[in-house]
Structure 1
Amino acid sequence: MQQTKRSKIACATLALLAGLHYTHAAFAGAAPDNAVKVVAAKHRADAEHSMVLGAALAGKRIVAVGERGVILLSDDNGEHFRQAQDVPANATLTSVAFADAQHGWAVGHWGVVLHTDDGGEHWREQRADTSVDQPLFSIAFRDEKHGWAVGLWSLLITTDDGGATWKTQQPGESAAAGKSGLNFFSVFAGPEKDVYIAAEQGTVLKSTDDGANWQTLHTGYKGTLWSGVVAPDHTVYVGGLRGNLFASQDGGATWQSVPSGASNSITSLVASATSVAGVALDGYVTVKQAGASGFVAKQLPGRDALTALVLKNDGSPVLFSKDGVVAK
């Protein structure tokens, strides 16, 4: 099955987050009727060194997802990782989110949505569309029932029943749709019923009714926004190409450029009760402590192409890169 030119470009863009060239090897072979066949992910001896594109906390457990359907679990604050026992798809997984310690979802290529109800040990498929490789790049859940996932060509899917059913939603004319639509790279929830999407062309979409309706916000930036998060003080942060970082203290009505300290793409932003932190492809970790005036950036000695992070209870980060778990 051949990818469209637009799909190849977008998948190459996704691969930029990991500093790699995208390869169309997410699934093993094709069925006789030329339909792509979804197969289970294999256990790999080098799983900890597989490219990681997303990570989240499931209670105290760390769950990270990445290439070839690899899902890594750690129950000792990132000291050691092991592979999940059962993952039904070997698609490249791009994002993971948990509503609580048990219920989580992961998304990736071929529009795959996977669900776990045991903290990431076992997963089952909720959605896949092998008729076109329209990847999902990000997923977020407010609670066990309400969630959103976004991806290529303005793809937006929502659920109100924990993923038992997913419906495709049109985000609005300003974001377009189909193969001419903006690519959506990060979806994240805010307070009350606010939901945000970080997209191409410096665009942020916002819903104030849990995703029923959307409005388009403009940061004033023209480049791609890869990541976003809402801090405990309700400040909205979005990060993108060349270390560009923007903040809004009024729900996205106005935006201010914030020095991040990084000069390459900001691939992930997360928040805890005490800090906001991000990572970038040039190996920078940038952190803003609660009450501080700005972000403080530090570059890793090896300058790993950082792709994801989680913050432990003590506020320290566990980092992931194109080469997997970053050694301490």
Structure 2
Amino acid sequence: MPSHGGEMMNRKVNSFVGVVVLLSLLSLLSAYAKQHPGDSPVFKDRPAQVMPGAVKAMMLGATMAGQRIVAVGVHGVVLLSDDQGKTFRQAKAVPTRLTLNSVTFVDNKEGWAVGHLGVVLHTVDSGETWTIQREDLNSDRPLFTVWFKDSKHGFAAGLWGLLLKTTNGGNSWDVVKLPIAAGATKGDKNLYAVFADKKGGLFIAAERGTVFKSTDDGQTWKVIDTGYPATLWTGVALRNGSLVVGGLRGRILCSEDGGEHWKEMDAGTKSSITDITESSDGRIFAVGLDGVSLQSTDECRSLSISSRPDRVALTAVVLNSKGVPVIFSAAGPANVK
């Protein structure tokens, strides 16, 4: 989720755990900084360990696979819940110990997860077991987000403008070149969240207040400047067609015209927003660093805020099959003792 080092270091963070969350997503980069092309990989991947303390691991992404909640995080930990998020257990077999940042499912069985070193994992049994579809042990370009339209067509995106597209369920991936914004000298904005609206529009929340938009299934993309400089970590298209994105310093922006114009919502916090989702009845839930949770019942026109006393960094939120938000944090599922 963090952007380039300068922005990250200059930013004031009120929670030490929040700093850990930010740094963890780039924790592997220093290991490859002195590596030269052609060198042997400095990292040898191994399967994730099944650990008693896995439910306390930092989780960074979560989604629903039918009635099951699937969450992913550091050390290749994948957590599963079949009781609406009351309890979690570790997946049976995950072939990597790399940090996993994002997960998505197209039905109750088939899903994908992505993470450091560009790893892409695939499952066809609701997250119980996973296989590696892609991994680049010689590269320092983690994937931060993954989204699939159906069982064949999907996108994954990450560091330095890396956007990958598949048309065969992840068996192969092609690099998609994104346009460079007017006046910019390079097009390497980090990409943090791919999401879609009901009209077929695709969007990518990126750094420096940028949103990329495609209306032709990702064949071509348009650069949208929201007018706000803060990096955007997350985004969602609402049922009414509006777009909501969030990121650094508590920024939550809304567009009612497909991204042409944006207005900032008063989040009532400077804690960075890490995830946003919408329920079937139109409620909006957001979470952020410093234990911050936000909710809106009027399509994001107004927001109510609450904060956990422990100020643990909240990293992801998913709505269970009953519409109840299940929140994840730097210390595992936030509501599991």
Say yes or no: TM over 0.5.
Answer: yes
Q: Does the 8 Å CA contact 1:137/1:185 hold for their aligned counterparts?
A: yes
Alignment of 1:208-219 (within 5 A): 208-219=215-226
| Pair 1:85-2:88 in alignment | no
Which residue is equivalent to 1:141? Answer: 148
Secondary structure of the residue aligned to 2:290 is coil
Alignment RMSD: 2.7
Q: TM-score, normalised by structure 1?
A: 0.89
Q: Quick one: structure 1 residues 111 and 192, their matched pair in 2 at CA, closer, same or farther if it must change by over 3 Å?
A: same
Q: Which amino acid aligns with 1:151?
A: G
Q: Quick one: structure 1 residues 136 and 212, their matched pair in 2 at CA, closer, same or farther if it must change by over 3 Å?
A: same
CA distance in 2, matches of 1:91, 1:59: 26
| Pair 1:279-2:287 in alignment | yes
Alignment of 1:4-153 (within 5 A): 16=19, 18=21, 20=23, 23-24=27-28, 33-153=40-160
Q: Which amino acid aligns with 1:130?
A: L
CA distance in 1, matches of 2:185, 2:175: 12
Gaps of 5+ in 1: 1-5
Gaps of 5+ in 2: 12-17
Secondary structure of the residue aligned to 2:239 is coil
CA distance in 2, matches of 1:228, 1:39: 32
| Pair 1:237-2:244 in alignment | yes
Q: Does the 8 Å CA contact 1:88/1:123 hold for their aligned counterparts?
A: yes
Q: Does the 8 Å CA contact 1:261/1:286 hold for their aligned counterparts?
A: no
CA distance in 1, matches of 2:182, 2:163: 11
| Pair 1:255-2:262 in alignment | yes
Secondary structure of the residue aligned to 1:264 is coil
| Pair 1:196-2:200 in alignment | no
1:84-106 deviation line (CA, Å, top 9, x unaligned): 11111111000001111111100
Residue 305 (structure 1) aligned to one of 301, 313, 332: 313
| Pair 1:226-2:233 in alignment | yes
Deviation at 1:181, TM superposition (A): 0.9
Q: Quick one: structure 1 residues 47 and 86, their matched pair in 2 at CA, closer, same or farther if it must change by over 3 Å?
A: same
CA distance in 2, matches of 1:310, 1:267: 12
CA distance in 2, matches of 1:35, 1:50: 24
Deviation at 1:259, TM superposition (A): 1.5
Which residue is equivalent to 2:15? Answer: none
CA distance in 2, matches of 1:7, 1:35: 23
CA distance in 1, matches of 2:221, 2:129: 34
Deviation at 1:35, TM superposition (A): 4.8
Q: TM-score, normalised by structure 2?
A: 0.87
Deviation at 1:147, TM superposition (A): 1.0
State the identity as a percent: 43
Secondary structure of the residue aligned to 2:246 is strand
Deviates more, 1:294-303 or 1:196-205: 294-303
1:161-187 deviation line (CA, Å, top 9, x unaligned): 211111111011329999861111111
Which residue is equivalent to 1:3? Answer: none
Q: Quick one: structure 1 residues 175 and 61, their matched pair in 2 at CA, closer, same or farther if it must change by over 3 Å?
A: farther
Deviates more, 1:245-254 or 1:287-296: 287-296
Q: Quick one: structure 1 residues 178 and 61, their matched pair in 2 at CA, closer, same or farther if it must change by over 3 Å?
A: farther
Deviation at 1:270, TM superposition (A): 1.2
CA distance in 1, matches of 2:54, 2:29: 17
Q: Does the 8 Å CA contact 2:194/2:205 hold for their aligned counterparts?
A: yes
Which residue is equivalent to 1:159? Answer: 166
Aligned pairs, how many? Answer: 319
Q: Does the 8 Å CA contact 1:110/1:136 hold for their aligned counterparts?
A: yes
1:125-160 deviation line (CA, Å, top 9, x unaligned): 011111111000011112222211110010000111
